[in-house]
C-alpha cells in the first residue's frame, strides 16, 4: 500500500497546537487499530456483564453468539450504501461538480472552511450522502490542492468530524417514532419530526456547531510550512488518468455491450421513475435505508451510463467497506451481551436514579454517548434503549422529543472517538483511526460544550 503522506514525520512537524501534537504522538503510540479496539471492547463488556448481571460465563457466551449475526442485514445495507453512494459521487458528472467546488476557494484557509462547512451540511441533510461525498471530495481535494499546504491527515479527520452535525432528517430514532405502528407507540404515541428533528432548540444547537466548528478546526490545522501532503503514488491512485475509449470497430460484440448505455440507462430510468412516485405519494419523511440504497443504485447506473464504468467504480468503492464487513458481527456480539444479559437496564437505572425532568435529556445524552462506544449502531441501539429510556422520561415528566434528540446527539457525539463509523473514511484515505483521533477529540470537546448548552440552557431561555 502506498504511503499516504509525503515529507517529514509527524513528530518533526511541530505546527499543530501543543495539545494536538502531543496527543497525536500518544495516540499513534498507544491507541490500537480499530479491529483491536472492538476485540478489547468485547472482553471488557463480557467481564462487566459477568460482574453486574445474573448471567454466568457460559450464558454470556451464548448471549454473545446469539447477537453475533443480528446486524447482518444492517451490515449488508451499510455496505451497499457505501458502495452505491461511492459510485454516484465517483461518476464524471458529480466529480466535475466537486472539482468546480474545490477550485472556487483559492487560499488554504478558504479551502478548509468551505470544505468542512459543505460536508457538514450534507451530513445534516443525510448522513449517508455526507459520508460518501466527504470521501470523494476529500480525496479530490488533497490531490487538486496539493502544494497549497493542506495536511492530508487533517483533511481525512474533518471529513469524519462532520458526523456530529448529522442530527437531521435522516436520523433513525426520530423517523421511527414518527411512523404509525412503531414498537413504542403505546408508550409515546406518534411523535412527528416537527417536534423532534425540527425542534427550534435542536436547530439552533446545530446551527451553532455548524458556524463555529470550521473555525475551531482551522485553529488546530497544521500550518502550511509544516503540513504533510498526499504522496505522489497515492495521488495517482486518487486521480487516475482517463484511458481514451477504443473505437467501436476495435471492440468485440461483448465489449460493445459492456460499454453500451442501453440496458443500464433503461433500468435506471425505470428505477428513478418509481422513486419519484414513491416520494410523491409518501413524502421524503418516508425514506428508509433500503429506499435510499435503491435510488443510489439507480443513480449510479444512470450517471455512469455503462456496465463497464459502473463496475469499475464499484471495485474502487469496495475498498471502503472491508472494516464494516469484518467488524459488524463483533459489534453485534457486544450488542448481544449488553441486551440479553440485562446490562443495559442496570446501567440505565444508575443514570435515571440521579435525574429530574429537567436534567433527564442531558443524562440520556451522556448515557447514550457512553453506550455508543460499545454498540455504535444508532438504529439498533435505539431498540435496546427505548423500552426503558422513554417510559422513564414519561414517568419523570421529561420532554419526550428532547429526550429523543438527546439520545441521537449522544450517538453522534462519541462517534468522534469511536472508530466504527470512521471505517469507510479510514479505508478510503488509507489511514488508521489513531491518525485522526486527536482532531476527533478536539471536536468532541467543543461539540459536547455546545450540545450541553443546547440541552440545559436553551430550553430555559427559548
pLDDT averaged over the chain?
85
Q: What does DSSP assign to residue 165?
A: G
Say which range, 182-191, 236-245, 348-357, has the weakest mean pLDDT.
236-245
Write down the pLDDT at residue 211: 97
* Predicted local confidence at residue 3, as pLDDT: 55
Residue 230 main-chain phi, psi, to 5 deg: -65, 145
User: For residue 236, what is its C-alpha cell?
Assistant: 495517482
Q: From CA 211, how far away is CA 220, in angstroms rounded?
A: 16
Ramachandran bin of 397, using left for φ above 0, alpha for ψ from -120 to 50, beta for the remaining angles: left
How many other β-carbons are positioned within 10 Å of the β-carbon of residue 49?
Answer: 26
**Percentage of residues in the chain with pLDDT exceeding 70?**
88
Tell me the DSSP string of 193-250. Answer: TTTTTT-HHHHHHHHHHHHHHHHHHHHTSPPGGG---B-HHHHHHHSPPPPPPPPGGG
Q: Which residues contact 163 (CB under 8 A, 6 or more apart)?
A: 123, 127, 130, 131, 412, 415, 416, 421
- The pLDDT value given to residue 150: 95
Instruction: Report pLDDT digits (tens) over 328-383.
Output: 788 888 888 988 898 878 877 887 788 999 999 999 999 999 888 877 765 667 76
In tens, the pLDDT along 403-446 reads: 999 999 999 999 999 887 888 898 889 998 889 999 999 999 99
Average pLDDT over residues 289-294: 79
Grid-cell match 501532503, residue found: 229
Chain centroid to CA 413: 11
Whether residue 224 has pLDDT greater than 50 = yes
Tell me the percentage of the chain whose pLDDT exceeds 90. Answer: 44
Cell of 108: 488554504
Higher pLDDT, 10 or 72: 72
pLDDT of 237 over the 80 cut: yes
Q: Is 8 a residue whose pLDDT tops 50?
A: no
Q: 129 or 149: whose pLDDT is higher?
A: 149
- In terms of Cβ atoms closer than 10 Å to its own Cβ (0-12, 13-18, 19+), residue 211 is exposed
Question: pLDDT confidence of 10, banded at 50, 70, 90?
Answer: very low
- 308-320 per-position pLDDT tens digit: 999 998 988 887 7
- Whether the per-residue pLDDT at 240 is higher than 70: the answer is no
For residue 63, count other CB atoms closer than 10 A to its CB: 26
Which whole number is the average pLDDT over 116-144? 90
Amino acid at each position: 500500500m502506498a504511503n499516504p503522506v509525503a515529507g517529514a514525520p509527524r513528530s518533526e512537524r511541530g505546527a499543530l497546537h501543543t495539545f494536538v501534537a502531543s496527543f497525536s504522538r500518544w495516540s499513534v503510540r498507544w491507541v490500537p487499530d480499530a479491529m483491536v479496539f472492538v476485540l478489547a471492547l468485547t472482553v471488557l463488556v463480557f467481564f462487566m456483564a459477568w460482574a453486574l448481571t445474573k448471567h454466568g460465563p457460559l450464558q454470556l457466551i451464548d448471549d454473545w453468539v446469539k447477537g453475533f449475526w443480528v446486524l447482518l442485514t444492517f451490515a449488508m445495507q451499510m455496505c451497499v450504501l457505501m458502495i452505491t453512494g461511492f459510485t454516484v459521487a465517483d461518476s464524471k458528472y458529480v466529480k466535475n461538480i466537486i472539482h468546480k467546488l474545490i477550485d472556487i476557494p483559492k487560499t488554504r484557509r478558504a479551502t478548509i472552511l468551505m470544505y468542512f462547512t459543505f460536508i457538514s451540511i450534507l451530513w445534516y441533510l443525510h448522513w449517508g450522502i455526507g459520508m460518501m461525498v466527504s470521501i470523494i471530495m476529500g480525496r479530490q481535494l488533497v490531490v487538486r490542492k496539493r502544494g497549497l499546504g493542506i495536511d492530508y491527515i487533517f483533511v481525512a479527520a474533518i471529513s469524519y468530524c462532520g458526523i456530529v452535525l448529522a442530527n437531521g432528517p435522516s436520523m433513525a430514532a426520530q423517523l421511527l417514532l414518527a411512523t404509525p405502528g412503531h414498537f413504542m407507540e403505546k408508550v409515546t404515541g406518534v411523535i412527528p419530526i416537527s417536534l423532534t428533528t425540527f425542534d427550534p432548540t435542536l436547530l439552533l444547537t446545530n446551527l451553532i456547531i455548524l458556524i463555529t466548528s470550521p473555525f475551531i478546526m482551522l485553529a488546530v490545522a497544521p500550518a502550511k510550512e509544516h503540513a504533510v501532503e498526499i504522496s505522489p503514488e497515492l495521488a495517482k491512485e486518487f486521480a487516475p488518468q482517463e484511458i481514451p475509449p477504443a473505437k467501436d470497430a476495435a471492440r468485440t460484440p461483448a465489449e460493445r455491450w459492456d460499454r453500451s448505455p442501453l440496458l443500464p440507462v433503461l433500468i435506471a430510468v425505470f428505477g428513478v421513475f418509481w422513486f419519484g412516485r414513491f416520494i410523491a405519494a409518501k413524502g421524503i419523511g418516508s425514506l428508509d435505508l433500503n429506499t435510499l440504497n435503491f435510488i443510489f443504485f439507480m443513480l449510479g447506473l444512470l450517471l455512469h451510463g455503462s456496465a463497464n464504468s459502473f463496475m469499475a467504480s464499484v471495485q474502487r468503492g469496495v475498498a471502503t467497506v472491508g472494516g464494516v464487513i469484518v467488524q459488524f458481527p463483533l459489534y453485534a456480539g457486544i450488542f448481544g451481551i449488553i441486551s440479553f444479559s440485562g446490562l443495559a437496564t442496570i446501567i440505565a437505572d444508575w443514570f435515571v436514579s440521579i435525574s429530574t425532568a429537567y436534567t433527564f435529556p442531558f443524562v440520556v445524552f451522556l448515557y447514550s454517548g457512553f453506550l455508543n462506544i460499545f454498540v455504535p449502531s444508532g438504529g439498533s441501539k435505539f431498540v435496546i434503549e427505548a423500552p426503558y429510556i422513554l417510559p422513564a422520561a414519561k414517568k419523570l415528566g421529561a420532554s419526550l422529543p428532547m429526550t429523543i434528540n438527546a439520545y441521537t446527539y449522544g450517538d453522534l457525539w462519541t462517534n468522534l472517538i469511536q472508530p466504527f463509523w470512521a471505517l469507510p473514511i479510514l479505508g478510503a484515505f488509507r489511514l488508521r483511526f489513531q491518525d485522526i483521533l486527536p482532531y476527533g477529540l478536539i471536536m468532541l470537546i467543543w461539540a459536547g460544550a455546545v450540545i450541553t448548552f443546547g440541552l440545559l440552557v436553551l430550553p430555559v431561555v427559548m
